[in-house]
Structure 1
Amino acid sequence: MVWDVLNVIGTIAFAMSGALVALQVKYDIIGAYVLGLITAFGGGAIRNLFTGIPIIELWQQTTLFIVALITITIVILLPNKAVKLLTKWSFFDSIGLSAFAVQGAMYAQSMNLPLFAVMFSAAITGAGGGMVRDVLAQQRPIVLRQEVYLLWAIFAGFIIGMDWLTEPYHLYIVFVITLIMRGISHRFNWSLPTRPVQNPKEDL
């Protein structure tokens, strides 16, 4: 039950996020559908490749594909004011990250993979689709910026991979906590440290 709920939540959120990015960078309708679908399913596809799951399983999610297509269509039909308002938020992206991070960790744990693999699965499932979306939209991927983003997916993977959770509702709690922490870090512009490298030409 938890798996299905998070799957639907993540698919809707990331399909909407991808479509909004496509409209923001002025892609056409086909571009909106492409970015929406890639954002919604890209992370899971990459995860399956790394964990040895046949890629054909991706195409067996007919219901989720229909949900994603309906979501993208709704975004395309929204008034311009609504689209501009929604693009100012990272809310849908945060929901998708949190839902798919938990779902990805659950997937790896169900295969009895080690802790590191569970954390990796959470990270790539939660952020993989968004990374591909940003590359196709010719933007710097959020996950590679200073902004705290991928860390929260890794956090969810660590909590689940440690087998500390004993009840299904605990997974919802991890989802909510991950979402809240992502929201707080975005609201207050938390960032990870960077190491600036001086351009050699500047020494001349």
Structure 2
Amino acid sequence: MTWDVLNIVGTIAFAASGALVAMEEEFDFLGVLVLGLATAFGGGIIRNLLIGIPVSTVWEQDILLTIAVVTMCFVFILPAKWINLYWMRFGNLFDAIGLSAFAIQGAMFAQQMGHPVIAAMVAAAMTGTGGGIIRDILARRKPLVLRKDIYAVWAMGAGFAIGIGYPQKPFPLYALFASVVIIRMVSTRYKWRLPYRSL
């Protein structure tokens, strides 16, 4: 049940994020669908490639695909006034929710397959950020995860926790989910940065 909830939450959050970015860039409806699907499922596809799961399993997620399409259609018909008012406020929250849900889900995948801690961390990072990277590349933006923001680090932290045996029961997992969302939003609010150099 917890696995299903994380899947649904992450899919809705990233599908909405991808659709909104597509609309910001003035993509047509097909572009909205493509960008939303890439954002929602791209990270999982990359994770599957890394930990040895057939990529074709994405087509078995018909319920999630339907949820993603319904989410994108809903976002597409929202009044522009609402989008302009709320996207600027809540765009980062959508990303944080998707990041957290998919990072935990990806780490659980790797851990349950018997992979080591580092694999859980990589699976968490790729599941949580891969779709966003694809989205930003398609939208001709600098990928958020490669900027100075602390972004993938929080996904890797969730992966580390799962990899070393964090309890995979509903309440602990929801607590971990909320923690990643909160710390991601705090790092955005206070502009925490990783070290970087300019040439």
TM-score range, shorter chain: over 0.9
Which ranges of 4 or more aligned residues in structure 1 deviate by more than 4 Å? none
- Give 1:152's match in structure 2, choosing from 151, 154, 165: 154
- Computing the radius of gyration from Cα coordinates, the structure with the larger value is 1
The reply to whether residue 179 of structure 1 matches residue 166 of structure 2 is: no
1:127 correspondence with 2:129: yes
1 CA distance for matches of 2:169 and 2:28? 45
Q: Which residue of 2 aligns with 1:201?
A: none
SS of match in other structure, 1:57: helix
Task: Indicate the residue corresponding to 1:64 in structure 2.
Answer: 64
Output the TM-score relative to the length of structure 2: 0.96
What does residue 167 of structure 1 align with?
A: 169
Tell whether the 8 Å contact from 1:148 to 1:190 is kept in structure 2 after alignment. yes
State the Cα distance separating 1:167 from its structure 2 match: 3.4
Give the C-alpha shift of residue 166 in structure 1.
Answer: 5.8
| Farther-moved stretch of structure 1 (77-86 vs 139-148) | 77-86
Distance between the aligned counterparts of 2:126 and 2:45, measured in 1? 9
Q: What's the counterpart of residue 12 of structure 2?
A: 12
Shift of 1:82: 1.4
**Structure 1 counterpart of 2:94:** 92
Identical amino acids, percent of aligned pairs: 51
Aligned partners of 1:85, 1:67: CA distance in 2, in Å?
24
Matched, 1:194 2:196: yes
1:90 is paired with a residue of what secondary structure? helix
Where does residue 73 of structure 2 map in the other structure? Answer: 73
1:127 deviation in Å? 0.3
For the aligned residue pairs, the C-alpha RMSD in angstroms reads 1.0
Q: Which runs of 5+ in 1 are unaligned?
A: 198-204
Structure 2 distance, partners of 1:112, 1:40, is 25
- Structure 2 residue aligned with 1:106: 108
Q: Partners of 2:103 and 2:110 in 1: how far apart? A: 11
- 1:19 aligned counterpart, secondary structure: helix
The count of aligned residue pairs is 197
What is the aligned partner in structure 1 of residue 24 from structure 2?
24
Provide the secondary structure at the position in 2 that maps to 1:163: coil
How far residue 164 of structure 1 moved from its aligned partner, in angstroms, is: 3.2
TM-fit CA distance, 1:188: 1.1
Q: Distance in 2 between matches of 1:65 and 1:86?
A: 25
Q: Deviations over 1:99-129 (max 9, x none)?
A: 0000000010110100000000000000000
* Residues in 1 aligned to 2:31 and 2:170: alpha-carbon distance in whole angstroms: 38
Give the Å deviation of 1:196: 2.1
Q: Write the distance in 2 (CA, Å) between the matches of 1:75 and 1:167.
A: 32
Amino acid of the residue matched to residue 38 of structure 1? A
Gaps of 5+ in 2: none
